[in-house]
Chains A and B, each alone.
Chain A
Amino acid sequence: MVSSSDKTIQSGARRAALKNGLRVGALVGATGGVGLTASGRASAEVTPDPLITEVQDWNRFMGDGVDANPYGKPSVHESDAVRRTVSWLTAENKSSINFTPLHKLDGIITPNGLCFERHHGGVATIAPADHRLMINGLVDTPLVFTMEDLERFPRENHVYFLECAANSGMEWRGAQLNGCQFTHGMVHNVMYTGVRLKHLLAEAGVSPRGKWLLPEGADPSHMTRSIPMEKAMDDCMVVFKMNGEALRPEQGYPLRLVVPGWEGNMWVKWLRRLEVGDQPWHHREETSKYTDLLADGTARRFTWTMDVKSIITSPSPQAPILHGRGRTVVSGLAWSGHGTVNRVDVSTDGGRNWNTARLDGPSLSKSLHRFYYEFDWDGSELFLQSRAIDEQRQVQPTKDALRAARGMNSIYHNNGIQTWHIRPDGSAENVEVS
């Protein structure tokens, strides 16, 4: 069903396109053969812009009043800023993944509707009044909390990135996917509101023998992971709000675990139970999956921390340079599970020479950081790279260094430096360079 307001927008856009088409046609006719300036526009005889000289529909006619969208939506012109999946990654879509459109975003906060999804048994639908959180195992008093109970604990607000350990995993063997959405889009950054786990555990009273914690989800996968008690007592949270509003169903509504800086699989969604134990459980997601197979056939387990990493989000294959040579803004994201990002360097020549980029916006521990590098592009081909350095002074490694250390089958924890090949026409491709 098309609402009257949609019709207005569509017909308005059609008229504008028609006018622009006429204008371009007129330009070509008038200037034929005249060279192009850096901005891609004809250098001589630029005709007045009808978007300025003529009264447009949106200048004249009323748009929607208030309440046309009780829950607001992005502009119709932003319909390509959406999560996307890669169908061949998984067997079907209920245990699958999609990707955050990093190339369409700026700043450090990921809008709730664009946070990538990863489920193992579909999105559970739970009424908050029907949700319970149990704490059992090696505790003085096993407890059950309702959502109302949880909101009576002291609340905190923190911005944290969540990165899937398999982010960039498809690139272990070499360049494969054309777009930072697909190579790096299993990450999002959200301000959470919730309660520190230590307060909940104190309520139940953890036994001195309690060294491990097993969170469990209420969805059909009943997701579980083993978390060491020091981490649980340090900065882990149970949260019910993201970016100010209730968690989205696909992010674990009404309750999820937050494990700052550690791999996303541990951030159990639809959280219903926390068990305290004296040993790890070695469940499926920490043995069969999320273990890092090395070249000699051994495998690392409990590889929790997400190492220092960065990615240039624009220009990139989905966001080519359209403006020609001249002033150019390189924009990207950097993060580290070890804390804050100290610095980001950008190379335009495939790692021969580096320039320090400008970090902008809040620099928060275990949060995405936004960086910019502005320069005058001469129009020649570029090999764009970014390299992050975190507060532990760990430097983001090259992909070759990771392969040399781990072999080709590690899948997880690929934080290697990404290269975008910018061609003279401004288009970009995912490559690796010597």
Chain B
Amino acid sequence: MKSRLDGFYVRRPVRLSLTLLSVMLMGSGQVVAEGDVSSGRALFPQCAACHAVGEGAGHLFGPMLNGVTQRAAASAEGYRYSDGMKKAVDAGLAWDDATLDAYLQSPMSYVPGTKMAFAGIADESQRQDMIAFLKQIAVDGTGAVAADATADVVATPLAQEEPRPLARDTVVPEHGVLHLGRQALPEEVVAWDIDIRPDGLGLPAGSGSVEAGVDIYDTQCAVCHGVFGEGEGRWPVLAGGFDSLTDERPEKTIGSYWPYLSTVFDYVRRAMPFGNARSLSDDDVYSLTAYLLYLNDQVDEEFTLSADNFSSIEMPNVDNFIDDDRMEEPQYAAIVEPCMQDCLEGEAAVTQRARILDVTPDGGGDEDAGGSID
């Protein structure tokens, strides 16, 4: 739509009321969830590591959730549900506002044996928002993305701009060479400077025990890393693998490979749990780090890790890292002109071929594929 205004064409966006839309989609006779769809959408990233929604969504670790409230429980085609979930359905589980609310509050206690090792959403209004969001996602994925996310951006007519401050009134800072940027405030540095070093520099105050780590691990980590750190699917194995580094298939875990404990603390604190980074308290991270040490046989079950005893922990593989000496390898060390003629004897014969193990996409099965990136 265009209208003429002060000599400028202004595009007017068409905005649908999301709340209205969700009511329209649900049809009559159903109880309308009290929650707010856009608030629910904003909460969904914590689910997105395991559940996909939207156009073309497929199953991830958890089932695809397009139209989840419009299908029978545990009925998404092609998804392998847990025995616990199947049992619940046999016992009559169907998704409505009440059952979804109970499940989202504590998945593992509402449906024992579910694969959804997620601690749950404690806040009732957040659960309502989430349910409202899920209910308005159609089977084809409509509703997953905000309706106005793709709407045209409003072009602001120049005539309405505030008068700009005069350039000569700008305060130029004194620091540095070109006097650009501004001084960072101590609170800002504290908020972002979360890195930890092997010597303990950067460790926050706090402590956590193996015992406390068990519960946090089981609810926040086990879904991907397995109950005892053995890994699910292609997610990283966290424990074991000792003395495997010279094996044909080495198992590079925290215990068998990682040189420093600080790396565990730093990484969990900055990037885990996957899909909900920076959600753990410092004590939670101490507890998880302690539990990972326990899973790797480095401490006993009574152990408590703190800023004080952190540096006393030495990882078993610390001495097996060396600096880059590639240039001393035979193929690089001697700088020689390469051979141009009759360099190898006999005719070339094939010794390996991709067809034996065709793991190219569209080229056949990938079950036996070797190597991975993580």
Chain A residues in the interface with B (C-beta under 8 A) = 84-92, 94-95, 97, 120-122, 134-137, 140-146, 149, 152-153, 166, 169-170, 172-179, 182, 199, 202-205, 214, 216, 220-222, 224, 272-273, 275, 277, 279, 281-284, 287-289, 291, 293, 295-305, 307, 317, 345, 349-354, 383, 387, 389, 392-395, 397-398, 401-402, 404-406, 408-409, 411, 413, 421, 429-434
Contact = CB atoms under 8 A, between A and B. Distances in A.
Interface in B96-115: none
Interface in B313-359: 320-326, 329-332, 335-336, 338-344, 346-359
A288 B257 contact: yes
Given A86-B359, A141-B176, A352-B343, A287 B371 contact: no
A401 B254 CA distance: 31
B351 A434 contact: yes
Interface residues of B, number: 91
Interface stretch (B9-17, B84-92, B262-270, B295-303): B262-270
Interface string B177-206: 110111110001100111111110000000
B178 A199 contact: yes
Given A176-B371, A413-B326, A431-B353, A152 B260 contact: no
A140 B173 CA distance: 14
Contacts of B330: 401, 404-405
A289 B329 CA distance: 22
B95 interface: no
A431 B60 contact: no
A21 to B, nearest CB: 25
Interface string B49-81: 100000000001100000000000000000000
Contacts of A351: 343-344, 348
Counting from the closest, the 10 A-B pairs by CB-CB distance are: A350-B348, A203-B176, A397-B331, A142-B184, A430-B354, A432-B352, A297-B245, A91-B234, A222-B270, A433-B348
16 contacts: A86-B366, A92-B61, A95-B374, A121-B274, A136-B184, A142-B184, A173-B370, A175-B356, A176-B354, A216-B192, A221-B270, A273-B193, A304-B324, A409-B250, A429-B355, A432-B352
B277 A220 contact: yes
A134 B198 CA distance: 23
Contacts of B363: 178
B342 A170 contact: no
A46 to B, nearest CB: 35
B268 to A, nearest CB: 9
B332 A394 contact: yes
B371 to A, nearest CB: 4
A374 to B, nearest CB: 18
In the complex, which of the residues A89, A140, A152 has the most CB atoms of chain B within 10 Å of its own CB atom?
A89
B361 interface: yes
B317 to A, nearest CB: 8
B41 interface: no
Interface of B: 48-49, 60-61, 175-178, 180-184, 188-189, 192-199, 224, 233-235, 245-246, 248, 250, 252, 254, 257-260, 262-263, 266-267, 270-271, 274-275, 277-278, 320-326, 329-332, 335-336, 338-344, 346-361, 363, 366, 369-374
Contacts of B331: 395, 397-398, 401-402, 405
A304 B329 CA distance: 16
B195 A224 contact: yes
Contacts of A146: 181
Contacts of A166: 373
Given A141-B176, A303-B326, A88 B189 contact: no
B188 A282 contact: no
Contact of B352 (A97, A174, A220, A272): A174
A202 B177 contact: yes
Contacts of A199: 177-178
B320 A298 contact: yes
Contact of A202 (B176, B258, B354): B176
A152 B229 CA distance: 49
Given A86-B359, A86-B366, A297-B246, 19 more contacts: A88-B359, A97-B373, A142-B184, A143-B176, A144-B183, A152-B180, A169-B373, A176-B371, A203-B176, A205-B175, A205-B176, A279-B199, A282-B260, A283-B263, A288-B263, A299-B320, A299-B322, A349-B348, A352-B348
Q: Is the interface of A mostly helix, strand, loop or mixed?
A: loop
Contacts of A145: 180-181
Contact of A134 (B189, B195, B274, B339): B189
A306 B366 CA distance: 29
A402 B331 CA distance: 8
A354 B340 contact: yes
B189 A173 contact: no
Contacts of A121: 271, 274, 277
Nearest to A133: B181
Contacts of A277: 197
A383 B348 contact: yes
A143 B184 contact: yes
B354 A431 contact: yes
B197 A352 contact: no
B374 A283 contact: no
Contacts of A136: 184, 189, 192-193
A295 B246 CA distance: 6
Given A172-B371, A287-B259, A432-B350, A203 B177 contact: yes
Nearest to B345: A352
Nearest to B364: A178
A175 B353 contact: yes
A199 B181 CA distance: 12
Contacts of A305: 324
A431 B49 contact: no
B192 A273 contact: yes
B182 A170 contact: no
B354 A175 contact: yes
Given A169-B373, A172-B371, A350-B344, A204 B271 contact: no
Contacts of A152: 178, 180
Contacts of A222: 194, 270-271, 277-278
Given A281-B197, A383-B348, A170 B270 contact: no
